[in-house]
Structures are given as C-alpha cells and as structure tokens.
Amino acid sequence: MAAAGMRSPFAFKATAYSAGGLFGAWIVTKLLDTHFDLKLFTDTEGWLSVAWDWLTLETPVSNWLLLMIAPLIVFLSVAIYYTRTTERADGELHEIERRVYKKNNPQFPQLTDNETILMEALAYHANFRKIANFDSVCKLVSLSTLEVESGLKQLEVKRLVKRDVTRGTFGSTIFMLTLAGKDYALERLELT
C-alpha cells in the first residue's frame, strides 16, 4: 500500500502505456495505409467485425464469457505465484533474524548438575501448567532443601528463573521460568 500522501505510479503508467500503444498502432496503420496503399486498416476492420460476430454468437456458454475466464486464470496464477514468493521471503527473513538474535545475545550460561536438575523440574511444572513452589520442587528432585534453595538463587542470578512472592493470608513463593529460561529449556532439555 502506498504511503500516506503518495500515489502509486502504477495506474498512471499502465494508462499511459496502453493509450500510447493504441495511438501508436493507429498511426502505424494510417501511415501504412496512406503511403503504401496496403488497405491494412480496412482489413483490420474486417477482422474486428468477424471477431465481434463470433463473440455475439448464441451458444450454451457465451464466447465472451470464455474470453473472460482466460485472463482470470492468468491473474489468479500470478497472484498465487507472488503470494508464495513473499511467504518464502518472510520465512528466510525470520531465519536471518533468528541467526542475528543468537549472534548478538550470548549463549546460555553453563549450569551445574544441581541447577540442571532444578531447571528440568521447573520446566516440568511449566510444561504441565503446574505452580512451582518450593515444596513441589523439593518433592520432584532428590536434593536437600539447602541445595534446592541455593540452586534456585543461582538460577535467579543467571536470570533463568524469577521468584514471585505473594503476601497475605495464603502468601506463598512461586518460581517461574523467565523467557531466557524457557528458551534454555526448549533448546537444551529437549521438551515436547
């Protein structure tokens, strides 16, 4: 779509080219008819009258309808071609953007064995849409509470996990994967 205030030059160019083509054809036929006495214009008029008679014939499917279907098929073919071409370009652009993102952002940090186990536990909670509080994480892994607490703090420092603390009567602490943590889980832990 053209930007605001800018007109698309396509309509003007198409009109100018078609008008110029018709004018040029008319001049060429007139010049040939007058200078070479070829009677080309009268022959062309005869061909046009034969074509008109054919178009107006009464058949089960009008001839003009058949002539309109051909440009429609050509138009649809061109539209489908350009749609597929732009889809392919969008896919390539997405892949290039992903490569640039991976190049500009540092790779994931190296995790210890305990941190990897905790990431798997948090990814399990996220995969099944369960709330990951401290007790549920401790039940899922075979680590002491001290190891779980220090591992979760280290994952928070590495910005793979965030902690959400709620206050009040039923206050609790919930651990969630950040976007980087989700990316890590998807790439390294091979979750489905």
Which fold is adopted by the domain 113-188? Answer: Arc Repressor Mutant, subunit A (1.10.10)
Distance CA 29, CA 22 (A): 11
Q: How many CB atoms lie within 10 A of CB 175?
A: 24
Residue type for position 82: Y
Each residue's pLDDT tens digit, 68-123: 788 888 888 888 887 777 666 667 777 777 777 767 765 667 788 888 899 989 98
Res. 38: pLDDT tops 70: no
Distance CA 183, CA 101 (A): 12
Distance CA 139, CA 93 (A): 44
Res. 42: pLDDT tops 70: no
Positive or negative, the CA dihedral 104, 110, 116, 119 is: negative
Q: Say if residues 52 and 45 touch (Cβ distance below 8 Å).
A: no
Q: What is the pLDDT of residue 192?
A: 47
Q: Model pTM?
A: 0.44
The domain spans of the chain are 58-105, 113-188
Q: What is the pLDDT of residue 150?
A: 92
- Per-residue confidence at 154, pLDDT binned at 50, 70, 90? very high
Closest CA to 160 of 168, 171, 172, 152: 152
